[in-house]
Amino acid sequence: MRIAFLVAPEGVEQVELTQPWQAVTDSGDTPQLVSTEPGKIQAFNHLDKADTFPVDETLAEASVEAYDALVLPGGVANPDFLRMDERAVSFVRGFFDAGKPVAAICHAPWTLVEADVLRGRTLTSWPSLRTDIRNAGGQWVDEQVKVCTGGPNTLITSRKPDDLKAFCVAFTEEFAKA
């Protein structure tokens, strides 16, 4: 399986990119870093710059059809940037329209709010997104991981970096079913 990891040019929480990336690799699947711009993305350890990572494909080159699933890492700035980019929002919405699984952690559901794909869905996130998710028609729960199959696709969400182990297990299991 080819798994798209959608991130902004900067602001992704490094551990929320690297641990899920490793989980995808360990499961025998192929992760691909997709971003709005070519080159490298700048990851962060909370507010401090961390490592850079090479972009495999830009949104201008990427298509939903080329991927089997989508992972949306968090960080505060990353999803805030993505939700302001119509190509990113359309790319995310495309996975829901195609019935492909999507995994999102921490602040990443902000992009899902903007894509208008949360009506009738139950999910978790960083707690400060609770009202945004409810206003977008979703039901927010405070759980380590939430797998929601009540929609056009499977949506796997998690709250924070401390939940990464459970998040990685849950989304790799769900992706394998797709």
Q: What is the pLDDT along the chain (178 residues), one digit of tens a residue?
A: 999 999 999 999 999 999 999 999 999 999 999 999 999 999 999 999 999 999 999 999 999 999 999 999 999 999 999 999 999 999 999 999 999 999 999 999 999 999 999 999 999 999 999 999 999 999 999 999 999 998 899 999 999 999 999 999 999 999 999 8
Residue of 48, 106, 96, 45 lying closest to 73 (CA atoms): 106
Structural domains present in the chain? 2-177 (3.40.50.880)
End-to-end alpha-carbon separation of the chain, Å? 10
Which pLDDT does position 151 carry in this prediction? 86
Residue of 107, 133, 123 lying closest to 171 (CA atoms): 123
Q: Enter the pTM of the model.
A: 0.98
Which token pair is 67? Answer: 């991927």
Is 107 an active-site residue? yes
User: Which residue of the set 46, 106, 148, 168 is catalytic?
Assistant: 106
Write b or e for each residue in 7-20: b if 16 or more Cβ atoms lie within 10 A of its Cβ, otherwise e. Answer: bbbbbbbbbbbbbb
Which pLDDT does position 150 carry in this prediction? 84
C-beta separation of 54 from 40 below 8 A: yes
Which pLDDT does position 50 carry in this prediction? 98
Which pLDDT does position 23 carry in this prediction? 98
Which pLDDT does position 31 carry in this prediction? 98
Q: How many CB atoms lie within 10 A of CB 66?
A: 12
User: Which residue of the set 46, 107, 148, 168 is catalytic?
Assistant: 107
